[in-house]
């Protein structure tokens, strides 16, 4: 087992307190801190604390021994998942991720960042607000009727006809700044749409504000999770959560951002059948709470002292409060809040002790 130094990514939507306080660092931080990365993505790999070697380079030196035969055969000589903590103080972009086939084609032909899909599951550490998946058409039609904004008539007609993809296309390509302002004014009078009014304040004139009317608004309680599969449109709004995903940074943005937007690409991969994203309570088995997802690359668990972490395949462990002790064989690693460790492939189980709480990421080869 190897203790890791993790990476902090600074984006404008991040928090100046959440990740600093998680790590016991001075708070507020000098700049917004948005994401804590634990993993081996080549853009920002964690490093082995005792020697500074990047985790991706460490794995490349002995993929069979460190990843194990099952993970190596299924996913190649790389860590298949990436673990993060998100600290969201301002809305993220409206975005979607391609599936495996779309990602491979997009990487070869359209310059996508990775050749892999990016399904993900996020567990709330605090109350966490997000837009994820399409609201039921009848509910969306009623919501649009209540706003009473004439310029939304084409979008409303598409929704009523069950053509959610066409409604999204109209929202993203047929929306003017004036219509966004009308929507913002109407949303400000509707308490259930306070998030839409906020989006319009942050991104005035952005068509993503209108597209947000089509999405399901979810507020997760601590311990609840949301699963975002390929093609599911989403935009995180606020809160702190632990997120596990395929080891990919494939993001296609539709709006609500100052970064590059590619509406045609978004429309080509969005899953208009997806409905609201799945909210998970987790399956409790003693000190383990598991958040099941259909992806073979990853499985996320909340782990408390007394948990037994079965061996087999690569694993990551991140402590989120207090401290935990991880023991396997004759090895022992102590993690304080904000610290993490890589557990290489081993058939022996690890035991968790201490007085804290951690999140455990492993492969899900039975999926």
Instruction: List domains and CATH numbers for the chain.
Output: 1-282 (2.60.120.10), 283-362 (2.60.120.10)
- Helix 194-202 to helix 177-188 angle (10° resolution) is 140
Instruction: Report how far apart, in Å, the C-alpha atoms of 146 and of each of 19, 156, 274, 346 are.
Output: 39, 11, 24, 58
What pLDDT sits at residue 113? 85
Longest dimension (CA), the chain: 70
- Rounded to two decimals, the pTM is 0.95
Gap between the Cα atoms of 27 and 243, Å rounded? 23
> What's the pLDDT at 71?
96
pLDDT at 366: 77
pLDDT value at position 255? 95
Token duo for residue 331: 């090895």
* Residues forming the active site: 253
CA separation for the pair 266, 97 (Å, rounded): 8
pLDDT at 367 (0 to 100): 67
| Cβ–Cβ < 8 Å for 297, 81 | yes
Other Cβ atoms less than 10 A from the Cβ of 348: the count is 12
Tens of pLDDT along the chain (367 residues) come to 999 999 999 999 999 999 999 999 999 999 999 999 999 999 999 999 999 999 999 999 999 999 999 999 999 999 999 999 999 999 999 999 999 999 999 989 888 888 899 999 999 999 999 999 999 999 999 999 999 999 999 999 999 999 999 999 999 998 888 999 999 999 999 999 999 999 999 999 999 999 999 999 999 999 999 999 999 999 999 999 999 999 998 999 999 999 999 999 999 999 999 899 889 999 999 999 999 999 999 999 999 999 999 989 999 999 999 999 999 988 999 999 999 999 999 989 999 999 999 999 999 987 6
Q: What are phi and psi of 296, to 5 degrees?
A: -70, -20
Q: Is the dihedral of CA 184, 189, 195, 196 positive or negative?
A: negative
Let me know how many helices (H) and strands (E) the chain has, helices first.
12, 23
Q: What is the structure's pLDDT at 278?
A: 85
């Amino acid at each position: 087992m190897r203790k890791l130094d993790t990476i902090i990514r600074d984006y404008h939507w991040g928090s100046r307190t959440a990740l600093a306080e998680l790590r016991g660092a001075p708070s507020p931080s000098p700049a917004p801190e948005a994401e804590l990365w634990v993993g081996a993505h080549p853009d920002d790999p964690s490093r082995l604390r005792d020697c500074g070697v990047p985790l991706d380079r460490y794995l490349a030196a002995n993929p069979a021994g460190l990843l194990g035969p099952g993970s190596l055969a299924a996913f190649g000589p790389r860590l298949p998942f990436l673990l993060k903590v998100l600290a969201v103080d301002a809305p993220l972009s409206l975005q979607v991720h391609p599936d495996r086939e779309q990602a491979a084609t997009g990487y070869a032909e359209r310059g996508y960042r990775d050749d892999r899909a990016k399904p993900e599951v996020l567990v709330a550490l605090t109350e966490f607000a997000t837009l994820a998946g399409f609201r039921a058409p009848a509910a969306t039609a009623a919501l649009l009727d209540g706003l009473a904004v004439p310029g939304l008539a084409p979008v409303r007609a598409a929704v009523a006809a069950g053509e959610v993809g066409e409604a999204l296309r109209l929202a993203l390509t047929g929306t003017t700044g004036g219509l966004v302002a009308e929507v913002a004014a109407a949303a400000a009078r509707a308490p259930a749409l306070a998030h839409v009014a906020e989006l319009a304040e942050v991104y005035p004139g952005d068509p993503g504000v209108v597209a947000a009317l089509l999405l399901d608004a979810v507020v997760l309680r601590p311990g609840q999770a949301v699963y975002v599969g390929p093609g599911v449109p989403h935009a995180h709004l606020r809160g702190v959560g632990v997120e596990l995903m395929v080891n990919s940074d494939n993001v296609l943005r539709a709006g609500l951002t100052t970064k590059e937007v590619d509406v045609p690409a978004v429309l080509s991969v969005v899953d208009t059948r997806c409905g609201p994203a799945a909210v998970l309570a987790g399956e409790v088995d003693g000190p383990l709470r598991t958040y099941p997802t259909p992806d073979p690359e990853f499985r996320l668990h909340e782990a408390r002292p007394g948990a037994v972490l079965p061996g087999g395949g690569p694993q990551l462990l991140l402590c989120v409060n207090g401290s935990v002790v991880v023991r396997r064989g004759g090895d022992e690693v102590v993690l304080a809040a904000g610290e993490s460790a890589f557990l290489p492939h081993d058939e022996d189980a690890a035991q968790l002790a201490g007085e804290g709480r951690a999140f455990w990421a492993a492969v899900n080869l039975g999926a």
